[in-house]
A = this chain, B = another copy of it.
Amino acid sequence: MSEQRRVRPAPLSGFPEWTPEVRLVELHWLDRIRAAFERYGFCSVETPSVEALEVLLAKGETSQEVYTLHRLQADEADAGEARLGLHFDLTVPIARYVAQHFNDLVFPFKRYQMQRVWRGERPQEGRFREFMQCDVDVIDVDDVALQFDAELARIVCEVLTELGIPPWALHVNNRKVLQGFYQSLGIGDPLAVIRVADKIDKVGVAGVEAMLADDVGLAPEQVRACLDLAAIRGSGAGVVDDVTALGVKSDLLTEGLDELGYVLDAMSDLPDGTVLADLSIARGLDYYTGTVYETRFTDWPDYGSIASGGRYDDLAGSYINRRLPGVGLSIGLTRIFAKLVGEGLLETAASCPTDVLVVVPNAERRGVAVETAARLRERGLRTELYHQADRIGKQLRYASRKGIPYVWFPPFDDGKPHEVKEMAGGDQVEADPSTWRRP
């Protein structure tokens, strides 16, 4: 290969990659998230990384973010094939999946999906071109029980707590509250107000005020009422009274407040500050129709949402002649993880999953080391056999550099006992490979 041009291997912006010790923590996180989803009985689904372009664009959104696929040496035989693009979220794929496999699924269909997604965006803090999303949704025919609006948020709160990340809060709102409130104010296009209200984190209250007046064309008293509503937040069902106190009345508003009250009540046993009713939360996407969620780090309020979602009336209307409403949340795993890595807050311990390194005392006694390692593995211990009869100091340094917690010494002479050394404390004691357990 020496005659070949040398290629300088460089990181690709927006495509995160981790060294083994960081990856080991990420894998642990993924295990925790999966375990939380499975604890509630949700099933795993994976879909292909690609969808037909007409599926990806069926809702006419985010078209500029899609990566399309081309064969490097495409030929005329490709001309008749479907154009393919990488999925940019896991909602479009699950909608297509549910429609396609409708007759093979049991409803309510409770699934989780942990996969990479791709967006051809300009990378910036918290925004990647390839990232891992962990979605959990319930989809049912005609109606979805309201209990799931609380159950899904609870699952996400539980697992974010387990991950031990810096303080965060799950903000909850209900689109029916916003829509009913705006309609009662005589606003003709409530969705236009929702789209503007959703920008409150980016442009601030003054920015939203100006946009509502200038872009949406609201009267000053309408703007004032919208801002009063958006200012309401609280940790419990008391926010329902605060909204009612604004004096606006409509059936849709009442329905939304009932739902919001139910969800807050069902999560009232969670630790204080975990769940926050926040009437400023809108979620920009048109398809949300009820509960909406957004999760933010307390200390980094401007960093993007780390777990978001909501309830939608009709997931798969583009594909199937059945109404399939649903509710779901998506944990932005890469967004959370990369932030902790970037802030230097991620604690790593080892670069491998190994419990024990078995030393090779010398070439003659390699067979004993091989047998010892096999015995330990049979008993469930993750065991490396050192690869050659190097100096013992070199073998110990290998264990130390990889963060392997125990080093095993098979007997250097027949009749002598095995010994095991705890690397952190330095203790070395006799041990039997057939009975030893990791303390």
Q: Which residues of A contact B (CB under 8 A)?
A: 1-2, 4-12, 15-20, 23-24, 27, 38-55, 58-60, 63-73, 77, 82, 84-86, 96-97, 99-101, 104-106, 108, 110-111, 116, 118, 120, 122, 130, 145, 147-148, 151, 314, 317-321, 351-354, 357, 377, 382-385, 387-388, 398, 401-402, 404
Asked if A58 and B7 make an inter-chain contact with CB atoms under 8 angstroms apart, the answer reads yes
Asked if A45 and B72 make an inter-chain contact with CB atoms under 8 angstroms apart, the answer reads no
Chain B: minimal CB distance from A41 (Å) = 4
From A48, A65, A388, residue with most partner B Cβ within 10 Å: A48
Docked CA distance A91–B381 (Å): 28
Asked if A104 and B19 make an inter-chain contact with CB atoms under 8 angstroms apart, the answer reads yes
Extra A-B contacts (10), CB below 8 Å, given A4-B317, A64-B72, A68-B71? A6-B319, A9-B100, A11-B100, A38-B353, A39-B382, A41-B353, A41-B382, A67-B69, A67-B72, A68-B72
Q: What B residues does A321 contact at CB under 8 A?
A: 6
- Select one of B23, B55, B67, B130 contacting A44, CB under 8 A: B23
- CB pairs A–B below 8 angstroms (28 shown): A1-B318, A4-B59, A5-B58, A7-B319, A8-B319, A9-B55, A9-B97, A9-B319, A11-B100, A12-B52, A16-B48, A19-B104, A20-B43, A20-B111, A27-B44, A38-B353, A40-B383, A41-B354, A41-B382, A48-B130, A63-B73, A66-B71, A67-B72, A68-B70, A72-B120, A106-B401, A108-B387, A147-B387
Q: What B residues does A116 contact at CB under 8 A?
A: 49
Docked CA distance A141–B398 (Å): 14
Q: What B residues does A151 contact at CB under 8 A?
A: 385
Docked CA distance A97–B15 (Å): 13
Docked CA distance A354–B38 (Å): 7
Chain B: minimal CB distance from A325 (Å) = 12
From A43, A85, A116, A130, residue with most partner B Cβ within 10 Å: A43
Docked CA distance A257–B59 (Å): 62
Q: What B residues does A73 contact at CB under 8 A?
A: 63-64
Q: Which residue of the partner chain B has the closest CB to A287? A: B1
Asked if A50 and B353 make an inter-chain contact with CB atoms under 8 angstroms apart, the answer reads no
Asked if A44 and B72 make an inter-chain contact with CB atoms under 8 angstroms apart, the answer reads no
Asked if B319 and A148 make an inter-chain contact with CB atoms under 8 angstroms apart, the answer reads no
Docked CA distance A69–B17 (Å): 19
Asked if A130 and B319 make an inter-chain contact with CB atoms under 8 angstroms apart, the answer reads no
Asked if A50 and B319 make an inter-chain contact with CB atoms under 8 angstroms apart, the answer reads no
- Select one of B2, B48, B85, B377 contacting A39, CB under 8 A: B377
